Structure 1
Amino acid sequence: MSIKIGISACLAGQKVRFDSGHKRNQFCMDELAAHVEYVPYCPEVAVGLSIPRPTIRQIRVGDIIKVARPDGSGDVGPALAAYGEKVATEQAHQLSGFVVCAKSPSCGMERVKVYNEAGTGNSSEGVGVFTAQLMKHNPLLPIEENGRLNDPYLRENFILRVYVYHAWQTLRQQPLSLHALTQFHSKYKYLLMSHRYQAYRELGKLLGEAKGDDLEQVASDYIHGLMQALSKPASRKGQANTLMHLQGYFKKLLSREEKQEMSEAIEQYRKGLVPLYVPLTLVQHHVRKFSVAYLQQQAYFAPYPAELRLRFGI
């Protein structure tokens, strides 16, 4: 089951913007594309707008927000919403993530400009009409904007969530069992811990108290809790505490000097002196050296392809 990601067509390099241009995203198309399959969407073209075309914007008229030309004519808001709902309900279940075009009146995820009716002012409070439908009907789906992907922490977190969500979708292709849920949780234990320790405890308790006749509800509660816990980048404190938990597996295996080396690497990371991959690489070295079976299957060490180099910048 390949990883499919929806993407605003202009970010994929398609010349579908109002000026016949594009906003090709280098990371998505030159780095991530080697590992995923893209499904491009241009809501504005899908609802019948031409290429090129007059610009459109979100305009507040009373309690209604139109998506129209600057003079208020040609409102395509209802058509964009209907198309967004169609994609969200009929196609988005096949996707493991979505990259949308920032600030677009149709695709923006946040901070979209909403103009007053006179066109004399605006506020950055809007959400693209198409993307709003994606988020409404698919609350688990990882969605990110192209501009925010320039932030190494947000980029890493988005790709992390895509791969976790895809793993969940793959799991759900098989008959549901408590054993399968427990194994999934076991694999993602330390990844979850690094983001939100309390969620790790709560979700473990959820599975520990599960009964055989409520598995669908348990599965739903679990994945909602997991994706919510992963929704923000892990802090240095959370990562460092997780690394210290992992260090505990080696207390009887390492020499005093090796223990000190690992402790110093973790502390340097906590202080922001080195990136995450420094202490992580050291822990991985000992996992391989001593063949610690339980840690070898932990997603924390390789949640996505190493070729993406995402942990070099966090």
Structure 2
Amino acid sequence: MKRLGWCLVLALGCGDDGAGPPPEQHWYEGAFESACGTDEGAALFDCANRVGWEAIQWRQEERGVALDAISDAIVRAESDPSVTDAQRATLYWRRVQIGVAMLGENGDGLRTGSAREDLVRATELAPSDFKIGGWKALFDMFVAYQTSPEEFATARARVDALFESYPDYTLPVVMGVAMAMPLDTGYPQEMARRVEDFDCSTFDWCERATAEVPFQQAGIELLFAEIHARVGDRAQAEEHLRRALAAPRASHWPYRFVVEEKLADLDGWLATFAARGDSEPVFDLTENNGRRSCLVCHGPAGAPVRR
């Protein structure tokens, strides 16, 4: 399976909107191998959720062990009546997210095998959760693109419907996968148009920093820049790169160097995409789908930096 650019939106919420260092939090201090072993009910959910965030943000090389701990928690949660359906759904969703993080950032595609079934189960448990529904719609579209081209138009229509209902959430979820599809699908160009219709300042979550998403705006501007680079728009790519460097708290951002490197060779960056032509995907060339796809937004300043 190709790498997927879905890490950008794992959590949206309130937090610090100032210019100082963003909040940081270690979620789980112990060994993942023994995590949550005796917990029940809400404590089981809280523990497994914290393991997930610790693996996403801080302990990237231990994600496989974290995934095992969450999988064990899911089995126990399914037979624990004190765990709510919403909590069970979140655990299935977390398992998908960490599997996708391992695929994109760790280069390990062996832990996404249950993703489709996990998202089906999560939507059964929480049918009104539009965030989980968005991930399922995107996953279905991506699988159709890879394996069932005749189903792609229908799957894409479901994603397009989400843009109508939840535009501010759907764009960050969808854009990483959509922008890397071939140009002749029209999807990268559509993402570029949607980026220009998106005003970060109109959404509180976009400019705020939380412990889960300490560099939301800086990271999203980098990924917006990449979408414009993908379609050959040099001016807009440069504009969004400069916005990334000027975003709140960007002076503390551990991935400033990525932006600075791209600004130093902007024409070369665009040429890399152009060389693929109109009919080839670019998943392997992108930050949206690469070894920092989660961390450009979710990586705390104090965490190990991926070069």
Of structures 1 and 2, the one scoring higher in RCO (CA 8 A, sep 6+) is 2
Please indicate, yes or no, whether the TM-score normalized by the shorter chain is above 0.5. no
TM-score (norm 2): 0.28
Larger helix fraction of residues: 2
Larger strand fraction of residues: 1
